[in-house]
Each structure stands twice: as C-alpha cells, then as structure tokens.
Structure 1
Amino acid sequence: MLCTDCCQSMVIMFEFCENEVMPITATLSLEVPALEGISRADDLELIEVMRKWAQARRAVDAGLAILAGVVAARSSLELGYDGLAQRAGARTADALVSQLTGTSGQEARAITSVGTMMSDPAAWLGEVATRVAAGDLSIGAAAAIQSGLGAPSPTVAADDLADAAHELLASANFLPPEKVARQARELRDELDEAGVVDRESELREKRFLRLTRQADGMTRIVGLLDPESAALVTDAVDAVTSPRRGGPRFVDATAAARAEDIALDDRTTGQLALDALVEMVRIAVAADDGRVFGTRKPAVRVHVTATDLARGTGVAHLEGQTSAVSVATVERLACGDGFLAIEFSDGGANSGAALRLGRSRRTFSDAQRAVLAAIWGGCAVGGCDRPPSWCEAHHIDEWLEDLGPTDVSNGILLCRHDHLLVHNNGWKIRRRGNDYFLEPPRGDPLHAAAIPLIPKNPVYHRGRANADARSRGPIRRPNAPPPAGDRAEGTA
C-alpha cells in the first residue's frame, strides 16, 4: 500500500536571482509524491497521486504562460524582423514557444494567448487570470473561456461576461477544455442573441476544402466544415461507420446483419469513412434527382424554441454540432425540408400517442427518439460527447426488472459504452423529483456519490427559461431537466 501523505516527495525548485541579466526574483517550490512503487498503489491512491502531479503541472504551465506573454510582447508585428521570434528564427511568437517548450502548435497558441491575457487581463477575465496564476486552472480551460466568451459588444456588457466567466470557473477543472469551450459559446449565445448571425457567418467564411497531390501518388484532403455543412456530412458518414465507432446496437435483423458486416470488414474505420464519401460523390454525379442517397437522405436536424421561431430571432442548434446558428438558417432549412413540432407541456413531452407506447413495445420509436434528442442533446452522462445519432434510448425504470413503459417520460439517451455500463456494472438511473442521477453500485470505492445527469441541448434549456420567465420570472440556466413548458421545433 502506498502512502501518498508520508512518501518521499520530489521537489521542483525554480530560483531566479535579481541581477543585471535577469531582474526577476521568484522562488517556486512544488512538492509532488514520488512515483516509486506507484504500480502497487490502489485505485484511490493512484488517482490522488495523479491529481497532485496535475496540480504541479498547472503551476508550471502558469509560469510558461507568463513567459510566453513576454515573448509575444517582444515579437509583435510592429517590430517586424527586429522582434524576438524573428531574430530567433521563428515566424511567430507561437512558433517560438512551440520550439522552446516542445508543445504542439495548438498548445503553444493556447499558452501564448493566455500569457498575453495574464500580462494585462481585461476586467471580465481578471478572475480567470488569477486562477491560472495560482495554479488552480489549466491553460486549456483558460483559453477555452477566453475564446468562447469573446469580448464585450454593444449588446453584451463586460460585467455580464465577468459573471459568465465566474460561472464557467465552477466546473472548468472537472471538464476537458473542449467542453469548457462549448459551455462558453453557449453562454455567449445566451447573452448575445443578436451576434449569433455574425458568429455563424464568421464560421462559414472559414470553410474550405483542399486536395493536395503528394509525391507518393496519394492525395491529402485538408479542410474545415462550418456547422451546417458538418451536420450534413457527419450524419452521412456516421450512418456508414456508426457500428465501428460505438454507435447504437440494432434490434432489426437486417440492420443488425449490416452492422455486423461493417464491424467485420477488413478496412479500417478511416478507410470505411473515405470509401463511403467517395461512393456518395460517385452516386451524386451519376444519379437522377431524388436518387443520390438511395432510400435514406442525410438529415440536418435543427432544434429551436417556438418562441424564437415565431419572433424570427434567437438561438438555434444543429443536432450533433456545438456552435449556434441563426433563426434565419432554421427558416431556410424548414422551408426546404419541413419541421417536426415537439411540445413540452406541464405533464411532460407530448406530441401524440406515438410517444406513449406503454408496455406494448420494448424499443423506442423514431418519434420518441426525436423527442429524447431534443431534450438530452446526446448521451446524458456529463463527460460524454456522443451525439444523439450514436446513442441508444434507455428505460429509466427498466423494461424487465422494473416493468417500465416505453414512454418518453421513462426514456433517456446513453451511448453504447454508458448504456452497457448501466446494464452490466450495476449502475442505476434514478429520478428525484425533476432531477436525474446516475447512481454507482453500492460500495463502489471510486464513486462515493451519484452523478447528476443534465440535458445538454441548449435549446431545451432556452425553452425552459422562456416558460419560467412567463410563469415566475427569468431563470437563465436551469441546472436540471424540470417539467416542460415550451415547444421545441426540430427540422429534418
């Protein structure tokens, strides 16, 4: 058994003496548990040791960020070839930081960006800079908050951004940077509805596709997809590769056989994806109108509240994508493809008898899955980023054990991994009033408390906020799925 409190510690010491060469005086001492015998540690001890090392890394990264900020200041565009980066043989400050730290270009950009921010933090980022300097916040999370919230505008005050940053800091160290970035963008969208159109346009302007022939005869594809394009292409490719990427299991015999064929295919998942894309292009070139994708046309599904759709402004989200789109985009898609209205009343989701199958059918219908996607926005487990198309509908009160009905009110979306975790490892989903929790097996040493399950679809929260505003006054971000009271429209 390894004792992390009394084991020998490694001390990392940074000493800077004040002199003519380096007019900085600072001493940083970091104590971390020694790793001798760590392979014999139990699970809890291993996790605790890793947390302490992660704390030490954040402290070191904070120092690197400060240094990178100075490098950036001495490498500004105004200095041209006299700048530090150029004189050191690097094109930019980011490139020099990457060389000196051995980090990737993306990591170096984050370090430099945060370091520049820390040198003279804007008012709304003051708390973020303080947390980074104290070693309490990772560089990745700080960069995500900084870029996701953006700067004040005529419609968003600095105080509002400061409040949003404070809210994000509450969970920033428990989430990977990409999820912090998504939450930051959602908060910005809530604060700045008028700016959604401009931000959507900015992302669309960044789209590109480049085919580059290589010396060995291969051709490299490089590109960026804006959210609307990504929704269409991703759905089409996922339909082919889903069985290999942890997508839902299939009950239908034909679909199950096809999934098994894909799983046993000798091609890699990447090769399957490319071959599918090439085949789509081949068919599109040769096919008549209406026959491009055979019986299944790739779908772009959009979630928007009826309130926003009626007034023509607000925020909408493409299913499976993290960036908001404008209501104008929703209207264009709805005009071409129509829409499905899903109404959430005080009694729960209800858009017809198809959503309440009771005990007559074990599997959830397509209509029910559309409603669950509109509520949960993907796998309900907090740390999972699987979109609705990769998820399976799970009975909260289980079909066999609890005789639970196949109703939307008894459904929740889980990816295959988390669905099997629930069924095979003894986890349970419980409702406490309007709150949902994933409860670990009794006696699990790694999980002392239940894990809250919160819907990830920002449009669902927006609809609930609209309903709350009408009944009790505005509530900006509900923390749990309350009973419904607004409509969410889903275009397909």
Structure 2
Amino acid sequence: MTAIASALRSAVDALAAVPRDIAPYRALDDVELLDLTRLAADEVRLAQLHVSLLAGEIARRSAPELGHAGLAQRTGHRTPEEMVRVTTVTRVADARTAVRVGSSVGAETPTPLGEAVLSGRVSVAVADAVRTGLGRPGGGVTESVLDEAAGVLLERVSGLDADRAAREARAVRDELDLDGIAEREQARREQRSFRLGKRADGMGYAHWVLDPETFAVVSDVYDRITSPRRNEPRLQSEGEHEGEGEHGGQGSAHPAFDDDRTPEQRASDTIAELLRQGVAADTSQLLGDGPIGVRMIVAAHTLQERRGRGWIEGHPDAISVETVERHACTAGTITLTVDGHPDNAGQPLNLGRERRLFSRAQRLALAARDGGCRWPDCERPPSWCEAHHIEHWHRDRGKTDIAVGLLLCRHHHLLAHNNGWEIERAGPSYRLIPPDQRADAIDMPSRSPALHDALSA
C-alpha cells in the first residue's frame, strides 16, 4: 500500500508541476508541439491503466456471489461500475471500460492482451475496443480462440485509435466465424429504435438508433446534403477531366453559394422537407441527381459460392450474403473481380453490368477498390471523394484510367495538388510521397474490405 500510494502521489505531484501558463506552449515550434502532445497522451494512458487496475480489484471484491457483502453494495453502490464512476468522477462508459479491462488484466490466467496492457504496448481504450470487437464465445469460437486472436491483433492495432482498433477486431471475428455474420447482423438490427422528445424551451429532438443497413441509407442522404462538394459549381458534363470541369469548370452557379445555413441546419431543413413531400419530393433539387440507395460490394467468389460476406459501400462491418442478394433484387450490387496479373493485382476488372470506360463506372470501380479517401488516417466516405490522377492530366499526360486513379476527399485532393505531395503505384499498392523528399514514403492502404476479400480468394 505504501509503495503504490507513494508512487501515485509522486506522479500526481510531478504532473502538478508541469507549467500551465499558455505562453510557453505558444512558443513551441510544430515538432515540439507534437512531441509534447504525444508525451501528454502517454500520461493519460498510464493514468487510465492505474485506474483500470484499481477498478478490476473493486470488481473482484464486488463479485455477484458476494451479494450485499461485496465492496460496491456494502458502500451503497449497486454495481462496481457505479462505484468506479462515483469515485473517479467520470462517465459511465469510462467506468465500464476500466472495470472490463481491469478484470481482464487481473484474471487468474494471463492473456496476451492483458500482458500488452500491463506492459504499455496498448492503451486501456484500445484493449477494450479489441475485446469488445471480438465479442463473446459462440458459433464454434471459444474463449481460447478469442484470446489467441486478440494476441494476433496486437500488431495490427499498434498505433491505431480505439475506434479503428474495434473495426479491426470485428473484421477478425467475422473471419473466425463467417456463419455467424447473419446472426450478428440480426442482433444489431434488433437494437434499432426511434423516439421523439420535447425540451423545456419548446424545441424538439429525435433519438434515432439505426441498424447498419438503415444507417447506410440515411448517411447517404446526409452526406449528399452536407458534402463539401455540394458547394461546387454544377458540372457542364460528366466526362470532363481535371481542370476542365470537376476542378475548374465554368459551370453555372450552385444555389448553395447563397446559402448561409450551417451544414447541420441545412440537413435538418432538407430532411424535414423530404418527410413533408414524401415520394413526391423533387430529390434532384434537395440531394442532387441519382436515386437514394446503397451499394453492396462483394467479391465475385462469395456470390458464386453463396458463402462469406459483403459490405455496404463506405461502411466497415460485414453483412451476410443473404442481405447482399436481397439488395441485388432492388438496388443492384457491385461484384468485385480483380486482375491477377502481378502488375495489376487488386485493380477492378469487372463491375457487374457497369462498363469500365464510362466515367460513372470508373468512379464506381474506385469506390469499390478504395472504400473512401485513401489518404492515411482519413475516413471520408466515397460520396465525399474526388477522383485524383496520380499521373497528372496535364503535367504527366496521364490517362483517365482506374489503375492511375485514386479517391481523395476534397481536402486531401487540394493538399496533394497545392503542397507538392505525390503518389506512386507499385502493382496493387499506392504510396504517398511527402514534399520533403528526405521523408519516408507512406503506405496508402485500401479501406475496402471487399477488395481484401477478393484478393484473398
């Protein structure tokens, strides 16, 4: 007790001694600022680890079988999570995370994930994301299999935030239990809900929990309303190249130029108008051209074998083959067939009934291959992206070809052109070359799980 208390008090005293005057922070150069931010993040991670260790012990002393004699109930708390929340003055979600990770770390049988937390290799938040994403035993997946998968995931989640680590973990669970995808999909669907409420000031609010399939439809509408591309001039024609239309054309002014509403206000007004007008709404004025719907992306071998998984374009969680087939009846699917030649491996060759040479088909191909903006750590969906020629149209006399095209969101597209970033292709891979030629190239992995599935066949 004395050693732990002394060490924690020393840590608190050391943190209290860190300068808080804003002037020294403003005097930092960019490199120093980022270095100190990383150090501060290390402080947070260590503090969360200490809280989790203590929370795990609180949970052990408050085990359900102890009843009212347990620590939490004996001190007037219903659960150990509530006791941790009150004691640490944090959110319920933070307390639950601390208890889950602390209980796992303090388990009688050590696990690779628990050891990684104790050693500082992964944070409490990432460890919880991995464990939650992998889910519980079932469908032939035992606890030992999940522990082994968590150990394998440690390398994949190194350097990732908790949200991305959770997506990686869910993807691994799908790989371990393909037959359980439909069951997990149904479990998420059953959590959907919608309710309206009225605030004391007369305003109203809606609380809408959407299953992934519904969320894909609603987010497609929302992205169309709020996308920065909505504020660009209308295109003269769909097939124009860089500098002639999408990036510099003399199109007619878009009504959004005179719109002083925030994106959130515009979304509220447009969705309300859609509800008022229903099926009679002129959606081309509200949302732009094209029917509302979602695209299902699936590897060709999956549909042929009728076993495996597909994805909703722009969303990372797998869906069942049955859902893909159901949508094929109404909205169509993108069936991804990839080139096996070493120089072109991973390039889409066949996209259902879409013909490759037309610009719309090429954008569909890029969306299926890239899954959104390919800039490292960017998560903009395909609907927010533009097609970038990695061999510039004018400078390099580049071709408008899928293999030398890449999806970039508007921000990163401008950054690439204006700040001297280059992109090079090596077979199926793309690498980002910083303006400073001395810096290392950065991998630009695809965000499309369907592409990874197609390449692994």
Distance across 2 between alignment mates of 1:95 and 1:275 = 40
The residue that corresponds to 1:485 in the other structure is: none
The one of 186, 206, 218 equivalent to 2:191 is 206
Q: How does 1:228-247 map to 2 (within 5 A)?
A: 228-243=213-228
1:330 and 2:319 correspond:
no
Unaligned runs of 5+ in 2: 238-245
1:98 aligned residue = 85
Structure 1 pair 164–402 and aligned structure 2 pair: CA distance change class (3 A): farther
**Equivalent pair of 2:231/2:257 in contact (CA under 8 Å):** no
User: Any stretches of 5+ residues in structure 1 without a counterpart?
Assistant: 1-15, 19-23, 358-364, 467-492
Task: Report the alpha carbon displacement of residue 282 of structure 1 after superposing the two structures with TM.
Answer: 1.4
Check whether the contact 1:248–1:392 (CA below 8 A) recurs between aligned residues: no
1:317 to 311, 324, 328: 311
Question: Structure 1 residues 84, 274: CA separation in 2 closer, same or farther (over 3 Å shift)?
Answer: farther
Please tell me whether the aligned partners of residues 343 and 349 of structure 1 are also in contact (alpha carbons under 8 angstroms).
yes
Q: TM-score, normalised by structure 2?
A: 0.84
Distance 2:167 2:442 in 1: 20
- Contact 1:427 / 1:441 at 8 angstroms: preserved in 2? yes
SS of the residue corresponding to residue 414 of structure 1 reads strand
Aligned positions of 1:164-313 closer than 5 A: 164-243=149-228, 252=235, 260-262=254-256, 264-284=258-278, 296-313=290-307
Aligned counterpart for 1:402 among listed residues 396, 400, 404: 396
1:172-211 CA distance string (max 9 Å, x none): 3422211111111111111210110111011001110111
Query: 1:171 and 1:248, CA in 2 relative to 1: closer, same or farther beyond 3 A?
Result: farther
Residue from 443, 447, 452 that aligns with 1:456: 447
Q: Give, as a single letter, the amino acid of the residue that structure 1 aligns with 2:369.
A: I
Identify which of 425, 432, 449 aligns with 2:426: 432
Per the alignment, in what secondary structure is the counterpart of residue 432 of structure 2? strand
The 3 A distance-change label for structure 1 pair 450 and 167 is farther
Range moving further from structure 2, 71-80 or 187-196: 71-80
Q: Which letter does structure 2 place at the counterpart of 1:147?
A: T
1:34 CA displacement:
4.8
Shift of 1:38: 4.0
In 2: Cα distance, 1:122 partner to 1:190 partner: 25
Q: How does 1:70-149 map to 2 (within 5 A)?
A: 70-77=57-64, 84-85=71-72, 90-120=77-107, 126-149=111-134
Contact kept, 8 Å, 2:299 with 2:335, in 1: the verdict is no
Q: Does 1:370 align with 2:370?
A: no
Deviation at 1:308, TM superposition (A): 1.4
Structure 1 residues 438 and 63, CA, compared in 2 at 3 Å: closer, same or farther?
A: same
What SS does the corresponding residue of 1:313 show, helix, strand or coil? coil
Q: 1:285 to 1:154 in 2, by over 3 A?
A: closer
Specify the alignment match of 1:420 in structure 2. 414
**Aligned partner of 2:207: which letter?**
V
Q: Distance in 1 between matches of 2:433 and 2:94?
A: 36
Q: Using CA pairs below 8 Å that are at least 6 residues apart, which structure has the higher relative contact order? A: 1
* 1:160-182 superposed Cα distances (whole Å, 9 cap, x missing partner): 43443234322434222111111
Contact 2:130 2:166 in 1 (8 A): yes
- Report the 3-state secondary structure (helix = DSSP H, G, I; strand = E; otherwise coil) of the residue aligned with 1:166: helix
C-alpha contact 1:58 1:136 (8 A) present in aligned 2: no
2:349 match: 350
Displacement after TM superposition at 1:26 (Å): 7.5
Greater Cα shift, 222-231 or 268-277: 268-277
In the alignment, structure 1 residue 42 sits paired with structure 2 residue 29: yes
Distance apart, 1:236 and its partner CA: 1.3
Kindly state the Cα deviation for residue 314 of structure 1 after the two structures are TM-superposed.
Answer: 0.9
> What's the secondary structure of 2:99's corresponding residue?
helix
Residue by residue over 1:400-424, the C-alpha shift from the partner in whole angstroms, topping out at 9 and shown as x without a partner, is: 2211100111111111121111111
Contact kept? 1:114, 1:143, Cα under 8 Å? yes
| 8 A Cα contact 2:129 2:165, kept in partner | yes
Instruction: State TM-score, norm by structure 1.
Output: 0.78
Q: Distance in 1 between matches of 2:196 and 2:66?
A: 36
Kindly provide the amino acid, as one letter, of the partner of residue 458 in structure 1: P
Name the residue aligned to 1:62. 49
Q: Hey, what's the Cα distance between the residues in 2 that align with 1:263 and 1:70?
A: 58
The match for 2:241 is none
Aligned pair in 2 of structure 1 residues 93, 262: CA closer, same or farther (>3 Å)?
farther
1:25 to 1:430, Cα distance in 2 relative to 1, 3 A: same
Contact 2:298/2:336 (8 A) holds in 1: no
Whether contact under 8 Å (2:225, 2:287) holds in the other structure is no
RMSD: 3.2
Per the alignment, do residues 174 and 202 of structure 1 end up closer, same or farther by CA in structure 2, a change over 3 Å counting? same
Letter in 1 for 2:81: D
Which letter does structure 1 place at the counterpart of 2:227? S
Q: Which moved more, 1:145-154 or 1:278-287?
A: 278-287
Paired AA for residue 172 in structure 1: V
Deviation readout 1:318-345 (Å, 9 max, x if unpaired): 1122221100011111112233444322
After superposition, the C-alpha distances for 1:41-64 in whole angstroms (9 at most, x for unaligned) are 332222222222322322221110
> Contact 2:348–2:369 at 8 Å: present in 1 too?
no
The worse-fitting range, judged by mean Cα deviation, of 66-75 and 403-412 is: 66-75
Cα drift, residue 269 of structure 1: 1.6
Structure-2 change in CA distance of 1:265 and 1:294 (3 Å): closer
- Give yes or no for contact 2:81–2:95 (8 Å, CA) kept in 1: yes
| One-letter identity of the residue aligned with 2:191 | K
Contact 1:203 1:226 in 2 (8 A): yes
For these two proteins, the number of residue pairs brought into alignment is 430
Q: Is the 8 A contact 1:68 1:115 kept in 2?
A: yes
Q: Distance in 2 between matches of 1:84 and 1:176?
A: 33
Secondary structure of 1:174's aligned partner: coil
